[in-house]
Amino acid sequence: MLRSSKYRIPGTIWALGFVSLFMDLSSELIHSLLPVFLVTTLGADMLTVGLVEGIAEASAQIFRVFSGAVSDFFARRKVLLLLGYGLAAISKPMFPLANSVLMVFSARFLDRIGKGIRGAPRDALIADLAPSEIRGACFGLRQSMDTVGAFFGPLLAIALLYWLDDNLRLVLWAAVIPAMIAVLVVIVWVKEPVSSSKNPAFRVPIKRNLLDKFAGRFWWIVLIGALFSLARFSEAFLVLKAQQIGLPITWIPAVMVMMSLSYAVSAYPLGVLSDHFSKKILLGIALILLLIADLILANSNSTLLLMVGVTVWGLHMGCSQGILATLIAETTPKALKATAFGLFGLATGLLMFFASILAGWLWDQYGATYSFYCSAIFALLALCSLLTMVVISGSSDK
């Protein structure tokens, strides 16, 4: 007997998963080496790393909110997906060519603008196509495939560093090919449904009368997601922690391999679980995992402890990111889903910007331990906010 179509993941969602896989393979190959490249080759300090990462991520989320509004207005997703992935692909050759922090920042900025343009339309397209019975599984699948790419990117970096005698610039060139493949997959295999509904009038996404269309539950989720981001600064600092404890350059990308592996392995099953279990409880578990990861990383002085910490960090990501996306999809009007994802991204991106700068400043002034302790405090604050949400809205809804 054939499985009912309402329990079958649509082909376009699979295609989006493969797009995410190839683009993240490219991006994480670069990301696993970029902090070291900035510090050792270009002479940047930790605060500069925090500024580069924070501004880049915040810019991505600012563009995300406007791309979401444009996507909802035209009821079209693919054009913005192609533009976003295309800009990211164009940025990849700029990293190995960079001879200054400013050029690295420019490349990172262009790459994150691409991410900002594609993020909300992509999530909205998944929300458009995903059967309601398996919406969590669909978001979890996309997140898992994204993270599979993030796993193989640093793994490829390790192999290339070994083969090319730690030549960082040559290794960074390898990121260009998978980025181009991702763009090709968008062109050929990503399809979008034709909407027959009347589109809402285009407005600036943060205008008050538009914000009033979102329910209180949506804003609670935005608050929780923003606090998650405040507690979770850029993964660049995980890479720099590996360098601090003396891991050879060839093996530093192993930090991102371990984090991405635990993320990839956990995201899809936890997405499936979230379709049948309280999402709020799962988010609470995610915050506890982040708190544990911070405490381990703050006190790690060996490779073993470092790898345990980044593995727990990855589990917290797998337990939270797809579930947060599912909750946004479930608490917003159909015609404004891309706008909702954009607003959510704006809030989380701005706080990640603050978190990355704060982490860099604390690292420079007091050491890495204080950066991770600060993250733990914010994770505890987010957990308290989540418990407040449960008390106010009731713990029975998923």
Q: Which of 315, 267, 268 is nearest to 290 (CA)?
A: 315
pLDDT at 172 > cutoff 80: yes
Question: Under CATH, which number does the domain 9-192+203-393 receive?
Answer: 1.20.1250.20
What is the mean pLDDT of the segment spanning 165-171? 91
The confidence score (pLDDT) of residue 156 equals: 94
The token duo for 72 is 């909802």
pLDDT tens digits along 228-276: 888 888 788 898 899 899 889 899 999 988 888 888 788 778 777 877 7
The confidence score (pLDDT) of residue 200 equals: 54
CA distance 275 to 291: 25
The confidence score (pLDDT) of residue 1 equals: 37
